[in-house]
Amino acid sequence: LGFGLIIGGAIANFVDRLCIGGVIDFIELYYGCWSWPTFNVADIAIVLGFICIVSESVYEANNK
């Protein structure tokens, strides 16, 4: 699942770069004066994939 999310997000960003010349980031989060860098759904998939891989590695290491 983790690798699938990472590869899927990377392919989506790559297709955006090929088709429109860049990745369109459209999700912006604000809290008062604080703002998070703008991102897109492919970026979310990549981060979630990374979290899945790391959490599984930690779980495996703790259960040996």
- Residues tagged active-site: 25, 43
Q: How far is CA 11 from CA 20, 37, 40, 42, in A?
A: 14, 21, 13, 8
Token pair 């990549």 is found at 46
**Cα distance between residue 52 and residue 54, in whole Å:** 6
